[in-house]
Structure 1
Amino acid sequence: MTKAYPLQFKPEMKERIWGGRALEQFGLTLPEGSIGEGWMIGDHPNGTTKVMNGELAGLGLDDIRERYGREFFGTKGYAEGGRFPLLIKLLDCNDDLSIQVHPTDSYEGLPKGELGKTEMWYVLDAKPGAKIIYGLKDGVDRAALAAAIEEGRVMDTLQEVPVAAGDAFYIPAGTVHALCAGVVVAEIQQNSDTTYRVFDYNRPGLDGKLRELHVEDSLNVTAYEGAGASRMKTDNIGDNEWLQIAESPYFIVEKGLVRAPWKLSTTQESFVILVIAEGTGSLSWEDGKLELKAGECFLLPASLGAYELDGNLTVLRSVTP
C-alpha cells in the first residue's frame, strides 16, 4: 500500500490569445506561444495533470482518484464516480480576457458532464494601473445588458476595479468578470471549463477568426442582483497565521505567512491544496521533506496527517468545506 505523501504535478500549459510568458518567472517551462494558463492540478477532460514526484510519478490525477479516492481526497473531497472537485491554475494576463460569466451547477444549458464554475483569484503580481472587470454597475438588468451587447457598449455596464498584488477576489457563478492586462493570478475554482463570453473586443483568436460569443447563455446565467461576490486586501495578517480569503460551497481558501516552523495537519475530511505564492522554504512530513518555491502547487492527501512548513513563504491553503 502506498503511503500518503505530498503530490506535485506536471503543469499543463494552455495557449491563449491573451497570454504571455510571465509564468516563466516561477521557473516553469513553457512551450512556444502566448501561454495564458498553467493548469497546476487538474482532473478534467481538457487537462489532466500527472504526478511528477515520488512513488506515484507518472500517474494522472484521474488514476489517483481511481486508486486512492476517499483515502487521498477525504470524506468531503471524494464523490463516488465524480472527478477531483477543484481545478488549480496560474494565469498570465498579458492582454485583456474576454468579458465573461460562468453558470451555476443547476443551469439547464450546461454541456454534458460539466459543472458550474465558482472561482476565486489571488493576485500574485500586477503592473501599475492594472485592473479587472468585476460585476455589473448598479441597476443593470437583463434588458439593459442585452441592449448594451446589441449596441456594442457592454463596457458601459461594467465595474472596473484597480488591483494590486495580494488582493483576493471571490467570483461566484453568475458574476460578470474579466481579468485585464498586466495581472498574474492564482485561481482556485470548481472543476469546470465552462465559460460564456459576453464580449471579446472584436479581436481575432489564435486561428485568426473572431471567437464565439455566447450571448443568450450569458444573459441567462448572469446574476443581475449579485451573486455574493466579495473582495479584500490581505495585508492584515500575522506570522504563522491563517486569514480566510474565500469561502464557498466548493472550497475554503486561506492565506498564511510562514516565518518560523509551523506544525500543521490534514484531516480525514479533506485533502489540502498548497499554492506557494511567494518566497522559499520547505514542507516536511513523517517520511520526507520537499523544498518549496513560488509558483509551486501541492496536493496533500487527507491521510497524510502531520506536516510542517518552514522558511519565508506566502502560502494559499485550500480545502473542501
Structure 2
Amino acid sequence: MQSTYNKEPEIRISGEGHNLWSGYAAIGQEMAARLAGKAKAILTVECYPGVRIEEIVQGLQSTLMIGHLFHAEEASLGKEPLEALLAPYLTEDRVFGYMSPLELAQCYDPAKLEAIRAKVEAIREGLVVIIGFGASLVTRGDVLVYADLARWEIQLRYRSGELGNWLADNREEDILRKYKRGFFIEWRMADRLKRALLPDADFYLDTNRKDEPNLITAASLFACLDQAAYRPFRLVPYFDPGVWGGRWLEEKIGLEPRSNPYAWGFDGVPEENSLYFRIGASRLEMPAINLVLFRPEELLGEQVYARFGAEFPIRFDFLDTMGGQPLSLQVHPLTAYIRETFGMAYTQDESYYMLDVGDEATVYLGLKEGVDSEAMLNDLEKAQQGGFSFPAEHYVNVYPARKHDHFLIPAGTVHCSGCNGMVLEISATPYIFTFKLWDWDRLGLDGKPRPIHLEHGRRNIQWDRTSSWVEQNLVARAEPVGEGEGWKEERTGLHELEFIETRRHWFTGTVPHHTGGRFHMLNLVEGEEAIVESPDEAFEPFTVRYAETFIVPASVGAYTIRPAQPAADSKLATIKAYVRA
C-alpha cells in the first residue's frame, strides 16, 4: 500500500501582509530599502550558534555595499577563560553534562565589547554590519535581524564535520561530545537570548537550508505563531539510522532506503523538530521550540506552563526494531538523581506503545523475582570488559508484545524493546538521559563502542521492580473510562509515578475531546485517515493519517475526531497524552 504519511506537514497562514523574501538578492534589497536615506546605517545580525555566518556575509555583500564588518565573537572572553567558565557544565563524561544557567553576556569581555562600540560610534558614514552569536550585545543597530535554525539541522552539521561548537576548535570531535556542549550550554544560552531579543527584532531569518535563506518581519513571524497556537498542527518529522534499526519506517512511511536501517523517527519532539509555515507561494522553516518559547500559555496551558516553564514536557517518537535488533538494555534516572546530577527539573519517564509487531516481538521490562543485585552488576561489569556476554534473560523479564499493547516504564525500571517491534515511545522530554547497561556486544555506526553508564545505572535501578510488581503495574493495562455513539475511551496509563496520562479512543463515529486547559499530543495508531474539527469552526478541519503525531494546543478547548471515510466495519484509534492534573 502506498504510504499516505505526510513527511512535510505545513501550517497555512491566512491573512494579508505577511511578506516573505527568499534568497540573498531579495533580502539585500529589502535591507537596502529599510536603511535608505541614512549616511551611516547599522545592521545587526544576531545568530543562533550553528548559523553559517560567512554565508550570510557573502550573501549580503552580493547586494549591499558593506563598508564596515564586525564579528561579535572578537569580543568574547578568549579560549582559556571561556573554557574555564564552561568546564563545570561540560564535565569529563562523553554524553552527560550539567544544565547551564549561563547568560551569553558572561561569555563576553565587557572591555572588548566597549572597544567595538567605540569603533562603530566613530564611523561617520556607510553600512556597518555586526554579526554573530552575541552581535546584539554590541548594539541593537538601526535594523536588527535574528538568524535562526533548528537543532536537528545543527546536528547534521555536527555530523558532517562542517560545524564544531561555538568558539571551540572541535569540528572533528566525537559527535556525542559536540551534542553535549550544544544541549547543556549553547542552546540554553541561545534560547534565553532569543526569548528576550526576538520580540524587539525587525526581521527573522530562516537559515536552515544552505544558500536558501528566507526573511520575514518579526511582526509577521509572531502572527504565524499566533495562528499556530490556536489550531491542531504537526511538526516536521525526521528519521535517523541506528545500529539496531529495522525496516518498518522505511516501508510504511515511505523513506529513502539506507544502508544502515532507520532506528528512530522523530515527529513529536518540539525541541528538535521544525515547523513549516506556508505563506502564499513560499515556505518558512522555524524551530518548533519557538512556539513553546513565545506562546507557552496558549500552547501548553496555564497550569502546565506554571509547572514546567516554557518547555514542552511530552514527546512522541518511533523506535523501529522490526527485523532489526534489540535496543540497549537501559534505565532512566530518578527525579532526585537527574536534578542533583544534571540540573534537570524532571526526569525521563516513558512508555512503549506497540504501534505494530512482527513474529515473536518482545519487550524487556523489570527484573525477575529473587535477582541478586550484586551478581547482576558484576555480570554487567564483566561484560564491559569483553569476552563475556551479559545473560539478559537470566535477570530481566521478557514479555511477548502484541499490537496495541502499552508497556509503562517509570524511571528506575530496567527495560528495552526487543526485536520485531514498532514502538511509539511516549515519554517525558529529557530524552538524552538513557543509562545504557548492556549493548549486546555491538559497536555503533561509527565503529566505536556505544557509551555505557553502569555507575549511573547502579544508582538508579529500582531492585523491587520485579515480575509480580511489573505485571500488576506496567504491562498492558487498559481500563474502560467512557463511551458514546461510535466510540469507546480507555485509560492505558501511565503509572502513578509518572506525570503523563494516556487515553486510547476506538471509534467509528465522531469522538468529542476537550483540552481542559492542557495541551494534547496524539497519534492515529489505527486506521488510514481521520479528521480533527472544531465544533464552532474555530479552525479549519485538520487531516491526520496513520502513524502521524499531532498536537492540539490548550487554547483549542473543544474539538472532535472522526473517520475521514465511513468506518462502520473497521475501527480507528488514537492514543492521546497530556499532563496529569
Do these two structures clear the TM 0.5 threshold for a shared fold by scoring above it?
yes
The counterpart of 1:135, out of the listed 366, 377, 385, is 366
- How far, CA to CA, are the matches of 2:499 and 2:286 in structure 1? 25
2:342 corresponds to 1:104: no
* Equivalent pair of 2:532/2:562 in contact (CA under 8 Å): yes
Q: Which runs of 5+ in 1 are unaligned?
A: none
* Equivalent pair of 2:237/2:268 in contact (CA under 8 Å): yes
2:573 corresponds to 1:314: yes
With 51-60 and 111-120 compared, the bigger mean Cα shift is at 51-60
TM-aligned CA deviation for residue 151 of structure 1: 4.2
Query: What is the letter of the counterpart of residue 101 of structure 1?
Result: V
- How far, CA to CA, are the matches of 1:265 and 1:82 in structure 2? 22
More helix by share: 2
The counterpart of 1:197, out of the listed 411, 415, 436, is 436
- How far, CA to CA, are the matches of 1:131 and 1:24 in structure 2? 21
More strand by share: 1
Q: Residues 134-283 of structure 1 correspond to what in structure 2 (within 5 A)? A: 134-152=365-383, 153-155=390-392, 156-192=394-430, 193-226=432-465, 229-232=473-476, 234=478, 239-247=486-494, 248=496, 249-268=498-517, 270-279=518-527, 280-283=529-532
Alignment size in residue pairs: 317
- How far, CA to CA, are the matches of 1:27 and 1:50 in structure 2? 18
TM-score normalised according to structure 2 size: 0.51
Tell me: CA distance 1:252–1:57, structure 2 relative to 1, closer, same or farther (3 Å): farther
With 284-293 and 162-171 compared, the bigger mean Cα shift is at 284-293
With 10-19 and 193-202 compared, the bigger mean Cα shift is at 10-19
Tell me: CA distance 1:89–1:128, structure 2 relative to 1, closer, same or farther (3 Å): same
Q: Percent identity?
A: 25
SS in 2 for 1:106: helix
* Equivalent pair of 1:166/1:233 in contact (CA under 8 Å): no
2:516 corresponds to 1:289: no
* Equivalent pair of 2:354/2:423 in contact (CA under 8 Å): yes
With 226-235 and 31-40 compared, the bigger mean Cα shift is at 226-235
- How far, CA to CA, are the matches of 1:82 and 1:15 in structure 2? 30
Provide, for residues 94-135 of structure 1, a one-character-per-residue CA deviation record: whole Å limited to 9, x for no partner: 211111111122115643547421101110111121111111
- How far, CA to CA, are the matches of 2:412 and 2:233 in structure 1? 33
Matched residue, 1:117: 348
TM-aligned CA deviation for residue 202 of structure 1: 1.1
Superposition RMSD on alpha carbons, in Å? 2.5
Q: Which has the higher contact order (CA 8 A, sep 6+)?
A: 1
2:552 corresponds to 1:300: yes
- How far, CA to CA, are the matches of 2:262 and 2:500 in structure 1? 26
* Equivalent pair of 1:52/1:58 in contact (CA under 8 Å): yes
* Equivalent pair of 2:293/2:310 in contact (CA under 8 Å): no
Query: What is the letter of the counterpart of residue 499 of structure 2?
Result: Y
Q: Residues 61-100 of structure 1 correspond to what in structure 2 (within 5 A)? A: 61-79=288-306, 81-93=309-321, 94-100=324-330
* Equivalent pair of 2:515/2:558 in contact (CA under 8 Å): yes
Matched residue, 2:21: none
Please tell me whether Structure 1 or Structure 2 has the larger radius of gyration of its CA atoms. Answer: 2
Provide, for residues 240-280 of structure 1, a one-character-per-residue CA deviation record: whole Å limited to 9, x for no partner: 12111112442101111121022222222x10111111112
Tell me: CA distance 1:233–1:245, structure 2 relative to 1, closer, same or farther (3 Å): closer
* Equivalent pair of 1:142/1:219 in contact (CA under 8 Å): no
SS in 1 for 2:404: coil
